[in-house]
């Protein structure tokens, strides 16, 4: 399963995938996760919610390049002082997901907010791509 999803008018995102990150010397501890996303579309644009549990703002990178939206993040699993970790299901998960954006969206006006492990991206539609009503003259 690919970690790239195309966002166009009426598009639905694909599911997420988990894989070991290739090429790392400690690949057993480096897990790459395609975060689960929900995408909502209206006349104004798209709102995307990505689940990024354990990711602080400092470890989050959201950028657009060549019409592609990239979300990259690293979860931080804190260990309480004085305790030694005996078992962890996932340590230092690396989240990565890419979306191909339609030219209908205004990438210069993307708004990003991270709250309680959920990234909210608001991607507005370009004014010329918004649906508009055309007045019909009679006569």
Mean pLDDT lowest among 1-10, 51-60, 90-99: 1-10
Instruction: For residues 74 and 39, give the distance between their C-alpha atoms in angstroms, rounded to a whole number.
Output: 22
What SS3 class is residue 129? helix
What are the E-state strand segments in the chain? Answer: 4-7, 18-20, 31-33, 37-42, 45-51, 60-65, 68-74, 94-101, 111-115, 118-124
Q: Is residue 137 part of a domain?
A: no
Identify the pLDDT of residue 81: 87
Q: Is residue 79 part of a domain?
A: yes
What's the total number of domains in the chain?
A: 1
Instruction: For residues 52 and 37, give the distance between their C-alpha atoms in angstroms, rounded to a whole number.
Output: 10
User: Quick one: pLDDT band at residue 90, thresholds 50, 70, 90?
Assistant: low
- CA 71-73-77 angle, to 5 degrees, is 155
Q: Is residue 83 part of a domain?
A: yes
Mean pLDDT rounded to a whole number for the chain:
81
* CATH number for the domain harbouring residue 35: 2.60.40.790
Q: Is residue 136 part of a domain?
A: no
Question: What's the token pair of residue 83?
Answer: 């305790």
Q: Is residue 138 part of a domain?
A: no
Q: Is residue 112 part of a domain?
A: yes
Identify the pLDDT of residue 58: 96
Q: Is residue 22 part of a domain?
A: no
Other CB atoms within 10 A of residue 79 CB: 10
Average pLDDT rounded to a whole number, residues 93-102: 93
User: Quick one: pLDDT band at residue 65, thresholds 50, 70, 90?
Assistant: very high
**Range of the structural domain that residue 38 is part of:** 4-17+31-129
**What are the pLDDT digits (tens) for 41-50?**
998 999 999 9
Q: Is residue 37 part of a domain?
A: yes
């Amino acid at each position: 399963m690919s970690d790239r999803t195309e966002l166009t008018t009426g598009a639905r995102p694909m599911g997420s995938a988990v894989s070991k990150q290739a090429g790392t010397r400690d690949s057993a501890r480096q897990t790459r996760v395609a975060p689960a996303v929900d995408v909502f579309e209206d006349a104004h644009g798209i709102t995307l919610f990505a689940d990024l549990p354990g990711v602080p703002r400092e470890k989050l990178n959201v950028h657009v390049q060549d019409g592609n939206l990239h979300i990259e993040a690293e979860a931080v699993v804190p260990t309480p002082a004085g305790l030694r970790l005996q078992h962890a299901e996932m340590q230092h998960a690396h989240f990565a997901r890419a979306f191909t954006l339609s030219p209908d969206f205004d990438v210069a006006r993307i708004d990003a907010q991270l709250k309680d492990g959920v990234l909210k991206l608001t991607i507005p539609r370009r004014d010329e791509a918004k649906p508009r009503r055309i007045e019909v003259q009679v006569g």
